[in-house]
Chain A
Amino acid sequence: MPQTLAQKIIAHAAGVETVAPGEIVTCNVDLAMIHDSGGPRRVQPILEKLGVDVWDPNKVVLISDHYVPAVDAESARILDLTRKFAAAQNLPNFYDMQGICHIVLPERGHLKPGMFVVGGDSHSPTGGAFGCFMFGIGATDMAGVLATGETWVRVPETIRIEVTGGLPLGVSAKDIMLALCARLGMDGGDYEVVEYIGDTIDALSMAERMTLCNMAAELGAQTGLIAGDETTAAFIRNAGADPGDITRWQNDADASVRESHVIDVAALGPQIAAPHSPANSGPVADTAGTKIDQAYIGACTGAKLVDLHMAAKVLKGRAVASGVRLLIAPASQKDMTAAAADGTLATLTEAGAIMMPSGCGACAGYGAGVLADNEVCIASTARNFKGRMGATTSDVYLGNPYSVAAAAVAGEIHDPREFLS
């Protein structure tokens, strides 16, 4: 039976030749990624109750990113507990305040094609950009994985999205995803696998591919997936790891998929999602003129080095409008360092951007930069659910980093292409 890439990875993890969609199988987990919010503070009591330690410390990556740096006694306690757990469980891979988990994981060479990976965070599909089957689970599920090294899955079908055409000026992977959210809805992924193929994907950097897989979560998919190629292998080698056999982890040509969609990006412009759903997306003209109080470039979705470069293109030689604050939390320390080295950081701060620590920050309302009642924010993040970034009455718009920077300069939502040439 011809197999999709997802089926091949799951079958391998389950120790069987093939699997069929709908089948429920138990898989051996190659890697488990946990963070400070859903990780140690929640799994430790369960492991203690069960009287077991982590099944294999070498297969666990722990990253502090949600409550960093501590802002109050409670977040300090959570981080302290996180560090003590890393020491007590002898975890060789603990990245403390080095950036957002979904970015740090591949940056440090932990992902390669064919792996079966679970992450204690809903944006874990990001790892699918590396040809892994990586999906998000809750803390109790994670405790089960840490105790046993196994978990169950229902073998998903594949929803194939062919992306074709060259990305126009001012348009990025984020716009592809906002357009897809509007077209397919927040449950268009139906907890299946969303797989991206096509000439646009072939030409995309790993960072942009990560954005596509990251927001498979917003389509309601179990995960996103992009089969590995030379771009993937080069990234992994550059991270100091061995990409393994890329050719082994591909779709069978005649594997059946549930549905196929084609999106031609040559005609796509910058997309903005209005409150309170990424599915409320449309061309920037629909929301242009909306006054903003805050612009936020951050999160696993929209603050990687490429995202900072996009913002810098708009902000070069311009200034943030008076009465507006532009907050930027780079996705990782490595990205922050690279942005400092290539002059991007100076461009951002000279324009008036306030730099924040690498971490999840304001995106989910955990860290600094949350919103007051009735405030309006435009963010490069993935979600704009009601009350997510702070006050229940605040409004969050989503856009690509060009659009967020353009809004910061104009003081209102504005077509970023006017600032690019």
Chain B
Amino acid sequence: MTAPGILAWAKVWAYGAEVDTDVLAPGLYMKSPLEEMARHCLETVDPDFVPNVRPGDIICAGRNFGMGSSREQAAQSLVFHGVAAVLAPSFGGIFYRNAINHGLMALVCADAPLISAGHHVSIDAVNGVVRDLDSDTEYACNPMPPHLLAMLANGGLVPHLEKRFSQKDTAWPSIR
């Protein structure tokens, strides 16, 4: 990431609507360490994902991505594989928070299902622009709220909190 919320060139993995948390982080492996759990990420819908995903790739999916459980391993497994962003028309509310908390960009993009697997895109989450570089098509997305961009810039909630506690600041730096 060159700047918070900016991706210059990312390969797309495309999925349908309602990719749920059990598919992203199967319950059978919840006791296991993240590296074991992440090996099973998305395997029930796409066994090719784990062997072939590369750091910097992104996911474009249908609505309600990450619906279901509060288990943040769903987001962490994607981060483990280096997924740089997930674009979808809507997200499971808990997944959305979990993603940002782990430094994973989650972008509300109504046209995300139109973007093809294997294409390359650029993303500007600050201004809300996604460009398919292979088809030279521009799509609008919702700009990320500033307090979440700040958290993303810090690398997620824990580094964000570390900053807060090290500054002996009594308020959330990005919200108040």
Interchain CA distance A121-B90 in the complex, whole Å: 20
Residues of B within 8 A of A387 (CB): 22-23, 26-28, 44
B114 interface residue per 8 A CB criterion: no
Residue A143 contacts which of B93, B147, B158, B175 (CB distance < 8 angstroms)?
B158
Contact A220 B92 (CB under 8 A): yes
Residues of A within 8 A of B138 (CB): none
Contact A122 B175 (CB under 8 A): no
Interchain CA distance A72-B32 in the complex, whole Å: 12
Most buried by A among B30, B93, B156: B93
Q: What are 14 of the A-B contact pairs (CB < 8 Å)? A: A24-B175, A42-B72, A50-B161, A50-B162, A138-B97, A138-B101, A150-B172, A191-B93, A220-B93, A277-B18, A364-B22, A386-B20, A388-B27, A392-B43
What's the minimum C-beta distance from A273 to chain B, rounded to whole angstroms?
14
What's the minimum C-beta distance from A387 to chain B, rounded to whole angstroms?
5
Given A122-B69, A186-B64, check contact A75 B31 (CB 8 Å).
Answer: yes
Residues of A within 8 A of B43 (CB): 392
Residues of B within 8 A of A152 (CB): 147, 172, 175
Contact B70 A122 (CB under 8 A): yes
Given A26-B175, A46-B158, A49-B162, check contact A386 B101 (CB 8 Å).
Answer: no
A158 interface residue per 8 A CB criterion: no
Given A24-B147, A137-B94, A277-B18, check contact A220 B30 (CB 8 Å).
Answer: no
Given A49-B162, A143-B158, A385-B20, check contact A187 B68 (CB 8 Å).
Answer: no
What's the minimum C-beta distance from A7 to chain B, rounded to whole angstroms?
17
Most buried by B among A222, A383, A389: A383
Given contact pairs A46-B158, A190-B90, A364-B30, enumerate 4 new A-B contacts (beta carbons under 8 Å): A74-B31, A122-B69, A140-B158, A220-B93
What's the minimum C-beta distance from A254 to chain B, rounded to whole angstroms?
27
Contact A49 B158 (CB under 8 A): yes
Contact A220 B67 (CB under 8 A): yes
